[in-house]
Structure 1
């Protein structure tokens, strides 16, 4: 936009300061709302009657864990780990009248909230601050202030020069702990002199300091979730079993492979169970003696992943197991390295992807011997193979045994594991080769339909849209008479409703019970709508520097389901926000001027329950039983 790097940084800081203020204001509101329900986080000075007991707890439970670190010629400025909470302490020696500075780390191994009465809590850091005289015996406590440091978490790896990528990343992870400080958050009460000591010791400038009003580091509030207050929590959701995977006998597991042979199966998480579909698909493949090979990409998974344990079992049983483990997945590098080593020890073939590219695609291939030949079963998804996030994120997965898709996924794995330079595929769209170009072609085709007077509409649901060629194409579509709906969870560089540019574009975002993570493309195509799902957002990093896969959804039932999902999302008027031409977001409820009636997450849960109940009815009749919860 013509601004220099310095001007962009200044503009970013200005916006960040606004976000920090909003963040602090939100905490004030939440704290008041909690107090109204009887849950209080009180200040230490407001509970004098508990000081004696808290001092004893400090001596017994907290003091032995603390390590005060002085800063003077004999004690250099200490290393401060990233995102750890610390107390800057100003001291005076009464014998010499000398001023001193020290740092006390608030231990992360201790709870942040200490209960003083039922549903009444005080912060650990305030307990420590009130008892600093125990730590610094004989010294006068002049001042104390909380602060938190953020360090650069980027990995600097020359992949072309690394002989062993795994070892190179392990070494870089060790270095990351000592990455350059990039930000320090401080309490507003911290005086300029103390702040200057911190900034100098951390090698930061004035613009790298951010004042926080209220509680610094809200991650400690997780403990409140453990309180037995179901009245304050969303009703827990138990995903239903996909109707086609409900077994005839509830004591027998579903035959996922047989269901796939009957036709493509689209699964929608967390409304439908990840365990009963994707995990069951892998488990059945591991236990099936006719399955010869299992290949999978892993980008982010959990530390207790049932899928990875199944892959280890498969390797132990002598099946050929190939796993593309993306060890450059930001902040999941260490966890992925641990799984990579365990898979290798079990005999699996582990590959770390392509040099210069992150493997972000979500694909799995199962090869099974059937009759005199082989059949390939495929799962292509929008989300990670992670059973924990599958309960919190909305994602889609396509289970299919279509020969062309099986061949495409086989070829994709050969690209990832070998020296194949294949760039085009039969049906699959793969970044960084064909994905952007095909998206632009599909947009241009809608423009042609609009010019001929046919129905022309584009729907894209994704996590972010910042790719300039894609945005310019959608602007061009709008000017050409194509209706465009964009559903973006995060960053959106496209402005809707700008006269002469984007009047035919609407942008909305859903903020509700689940995190919207699925990626969907829809193109009306003159009445023969085409749908795609997959792993790619419209960002240059996804389209140019990652291996991504988008798959066309060709099954009529699955297509109808995608259309239904989009219809419900666009009908939401309770959890949705709309982007305005002036780059501001407004709640749909506020725009309408009245309370909304459609909550997309509640609506899709209700539809999932209804579909599961309908599928369970024949089983009830066969068993001669009454009510049967479809989630059981």
Structure 2
């Protein structure tokens, strides 16, 4: 979009091209991840981890976003995007940007990371680069651990081309029969049950496919190996379950998970050394077009670099960080503390274990607790939260768990936990038809010594996942406030029963009131500004895509209201466009922790109103999920959260800055005056408020 002064008149006029493309914006987010891998100021193994994250992020993008677009195009359901691009234009542009980023990713790995690792005594080597003793070690490993699980599949008149499962790494092998001179094609699947990189000697590794390729003569005895090339297919792996006609959603999902790996291909990755003959065979048999082929320098599947990032080399990683336990007093019960005051916890700076997990565990052990109700969207494989819920059920307490078994890529784990909870006697509910339950809620009902019932709540922005709570930045409110408790009780009744409750006192809940509630507050800010009262909108979220809310922010900017948006990933809003978004700034922070909290603050004429919760500003969150945002009532908490938001948007804070054309520019400060890393700042201060809430 051209940003010429006066091009867009002030007022209610908004141009058709006012939205950035969602898919390209996501790719630009992953580009920011890649820029962290390229940053030589970061610890080396953390850079390796960012390379791995980039690769796995891109896999998911193709499996879900690209696959979904291709599916809609094939069925004739695709329409022009909000950015104005036709579906085919979106797909073509996506392919161009993805190609560029994949080559840049490979160049970073080969030209920068590999030499840097070698200087630290860590090497990833191809077979020809290994020492003779290392090859002997790997040959022994091949005989003992690899050869028995390999299955070469030849293609001829009696054997059709085999099915290639999604994200599996494979070798395309051409062999020649020395007697008949016949050339045959075969596929060898690289076993997923084995490590991606094999240790040939201490801190020296070789790709698994290289070891297999070096021993192909043992698989094709008596045949001549003409050529072999690694390749990898990405398939559509988004679930499709018609809930309207499915009586048992749990069983339907289990069946769909089995089918998931058979989705149509959306990407073919090959090493750039592949021959035209083999590539033509693969594209024809897999049914992929030239634009779906991604040639990159090997090795493929660099998501496996997480194995290197996990090496025990503390000097090459971020320094250790221990979360603060000061959010709640260690003496007495958590219930006594919450009767005195509300507590806001900020993970990972505040300990999840001694706050949120403690609430559930104390509730399970406390004989005065009558009931526990909780939502579970994602949790860990050895979850102490789930263990506490099971213990509570064993103790005779009523335990209700709303399990979202449609949580993308965690469906299998959630099905397992749902069955385990049911077997323990918990009441397990799977939410609504057509809606995902994404809100983060816990409710504890306790009988106090005087015989009265009191309810204790947790409303958060993150999942009840102890492991990711050490890596994800999230907020949570722990409270015994009667109005909040009444709202949470009514929302649980809505989730588990047939309540038609849609409005609440201290909550905004999607899909009924969240979007309209935020738009109403944006419009109020416009009114405050026009009346000469303080007005300022501050949003922090993972993604900003919803056109209704973006247009509301544009109108606020046109009216003169300052708008600050702190977004981690996708942003379809164009900031800084004269006449439309002059007063809007968009920043992004990426770093050691995954910025994950969602906070929405309004200056409200000098009496700020602030909300946080589970919802991003995307169609799926506002229309197809049950999300909950809670109002922050404590003045001290509001002030501290606003200072946190302002720190993230401060011109002296390290961040990426978005312009009206969709380009992100990284700001790190001057060499002699580096910008403030907000995550490091919060780790150093350990607390951004005192224990007593002051």
**TM-score normalised by the chain length of structure 1:** 0.93
Aligned to 2:366: 288
Distance of 2:571 and 2:688 partners within structure 1? 35
Shift of 1:445: 0.8
Distance of 1:85 and 1:610 partners within structure 2? 46
Matches within 5 A, 1:145-224: 145-224=229-308
Say whether the 8 Å CA contact 2:529–2:561 is kept in structure 1: yes
Aligned to 1:467: 546
Matches within 5 A, 1:313-392: 313-370=391-448, 371-392=450-471
Say whether the 8 Å CA contact 1:572–1:599 is kept in structure 2: no
Shift of 1:581: 2.2
SS across alignment from 2:456: strand
Shift of 1:114: 2.6
2:228 to 144, 161, 164: 144
Q: 1:73 to 1:386 in 2, by over 3 A?
A: same
Q: 1:478 to 1:593 in 2, by over 3 A?
A: farther
Aligned to 1:34: 117
Q: 1:611 to 1:357 in 2, by over 3 A?
A: closer
SS across alignment from 2:354: helix
Matches within 5 A, 1:441-520: 441-520=520-599
Q: 1:535 to 1:611 in 2, by over 3 A?
A: closer
Distance of 1:121 and 1:572 partners within structure 2? 43
Flag structure 1 segments of 5+ consecutive residues without an equivalent: 249-253, 616-632
Shift of 1:556: 1.7
Matches within 5 A, 1:545-624: 545-571=624-650, 573=652, 575-589=654-668, 595-608=673-686
Aligned to 1:307: 385
* Root-mean-square deviation (Å): 1.8
Say whether the 8 Å CA contact 2:372–2:399 is kept in structure 1: yes
Matches within 5 A, 1:193-272: 193-243=277-327, 245-248=328-331, 254-272=332-350
Distance of 2:325 and 2:158 partners within structure 1? 65
Say whether the 8 Å CA contact 2:232–2:269 is kept in structure 1: yes
Q: 1:64 to 1:136 in 2, by over 3 A?
A: same
Distance of 2:675 and 2:355 partners within structure 1? 31
Q: 1:462 to 1:426 in 2, by over 3 A?
A: same
SS across alignment from 2:355: helix
Aligned to 2:351: 273
SS across alignment from 2:674: coil
Most deviating of 421-430 and 534-543: 421-430
Shift of 1:212: 1.9
2:399 counterpart of 1:399: no
Could you give the per-residue CA deviations for residues 396-445 of structure 1, whole angstroms, max 9, x where no partner exists?
Answer: 00011111111111111111111111111112100000000010011111
Say whether the 8 Å CA contact 1:242–1:267 is kept in structure 2: no
Q: 1:595 to 1:97 in 2, by over 3 A?
A: farther
Q: 1:363 to 1:504 in 2, by over 3 A?
A: same
Flag structure 2 segments of 5+ consecutive residues without an equivalent: 1-82
SS across alignment from 1:17: helix
Most deviating of 399-408 and 462-471: 399-408
Shift of 1:594: 6.2
Could you give the per-residue CA deviations for residues 113-149 of structure 1, whole angstroms, max 9, x where no partner exists?
Answer: 2333433222221121122112111111111111111
Distance of 2:202 and 2:91 partners within structure 1? 46
SS across alignment from 1:274: coil
Distance of 1:53 and 1:176 partners within structure 2? 37
Aligned to 1:10: 92
Report how many residues are paired: 607
2:505 counterpart of 1:426: yes
Distance of 2:281 and 2:250 partners within structure 1? 39
Most deviating of 490-499 and 16-25: 16-25
Say whether the 8 Å CA contact 2:207–2:299 is kept in structure 1: no
Say whether the 8 Å CA contact 1:92–1:139 is kept in structure 2: yes
Shift of 1:37: 2.3
1:88 to 172, 175, 188: 172
Distance of 1:404 and 1:56 partners within structure 2? 67
Say whether the 8 Å CA contact 1:70–1:103 is kept in structure 2: yes
Distance of 1:269 and 1:509 partners within structure 2? 19
Most deviating of 430-439 and 579-588: 579-588
Aligned to 1:619: none
Shift of 1:196: 2.1
SS across alignment from 1:275: coil
2:102 counterpart of 1:20: yes
Most deviating of 316-325 and 169-178: 169-178
Aligned to 2:126: 43
Shift of 1:97: 1.1
Most deviating of 102-111 and 396-405: 102-111
Q: 1:459 to 1:210 in 2, by over 3 A?
A: same
Say whether the 8 Å CA contact 2:540–2:598 is kept in structure 1: yes
Could you give the per-residue CA deviations for residues 547-591 of structure 1, whole angstroms, max 9, x where no partner exists?
Answer: 00000000122212212321332237564111122211111126x
2:187 counterpart of 1:109: no
Most deviating of 162-171 and 562-571: 562-571
Shift of 1:200: 2.4
